[in-house]
Chains A and B, each alone.
Chain A
């Protein structure tokens, strides 16, 4: 599938609050999902991944939830900090795609002081 981003959804949260960023993916055959953080003028940075045989995975301050029934992915960031301000992308891939990634449209997270 293709992801075309015509606009960038935004999310503003207070410092210290939890953030939830959502993503709808397109391909029911996708079996691996990744969240990336992209700061202005930089390349994407890996945050956390999840395989399709799981529905939840936790990292340091981050949790990814996968709902295959509705093809939905979410990223939860606990105790959001100013350094978390960035654009967050989900990406999907599947075994038969030579591991090409299809990126979602992204969400701009702004952490307010």
Chain B
């Protein structure tokens, strides 16, 4: 089956530093990936849509200068949290669309990255 990985699985950083999270589709090429954020006991909230070779599309309320997304290849999208603050502490999850699945494209999710900002 289609596998999506994320690295790192968890990260602890100091306030003010930047953190990069990688999302990889391991056995398929994904032109579209999504980034979600999930706070404890809450649902997944879509942050942005990442399209290979073009700029990401951010959801309302998500600061594009703070959450930098780069989708430079068909198997890798990165999310960089710049100048992280404690309120950015969350579980970040990516997903990738498996191409060729028709109008009902199936999304496969990564295992998530737990970010803790001290």
Contact = CB atoms under 8 A, between A and B. Distances in A.
A and B assemble together: yes
Interface of A: 2-8, 32, 36, 41-46, 49, 51, 89, 95, 98-106
A104 B43 contact: yes
Contacts of A98: 32, 49
B67 interface: no
B43 A4 contact: yes
Interface in B103-117: 103-112, 114
Interface size class of B (residues with CB under 8 A): 20 to 34
B41 A8 contact: yes
A51 B46 contact: no
Given A43-B110, A43-B111, A32 B46 contact: no
A41 B97 CA distance: 22
Majority SS at the chain A contact face: loop
B66 to A, nearest CB: 20
Interface string B70-114: 000000000000000000000101010100000111111111101
Interface in B17-34: 32, 34
Contacts of A49: 104
6 contacts: A46-B106, A46-B108, A98-B32, A99-B105, A100-B46, A104-B43
B42 interface: yes
A104 B41 CA distance: 12
B44 interface: yes
A1 to B, nearest CB: 11
A36 B108 CA distance: 11
A6 B111 contact: no
B34 A100 contact: yes
B44 A44 contact: yes
Nearest to A98: B49
Given A43-B112, A102-B46, A106-B42, 15 more contacts: A3-B45, A4-B45, A5-B43, A7-B41, A36-B109, A41-B91, A43-B6, A43-B93, A98-B49, A99-B107, A100-B46, A101-B44, A101-B46, A103-B45, A105-B43
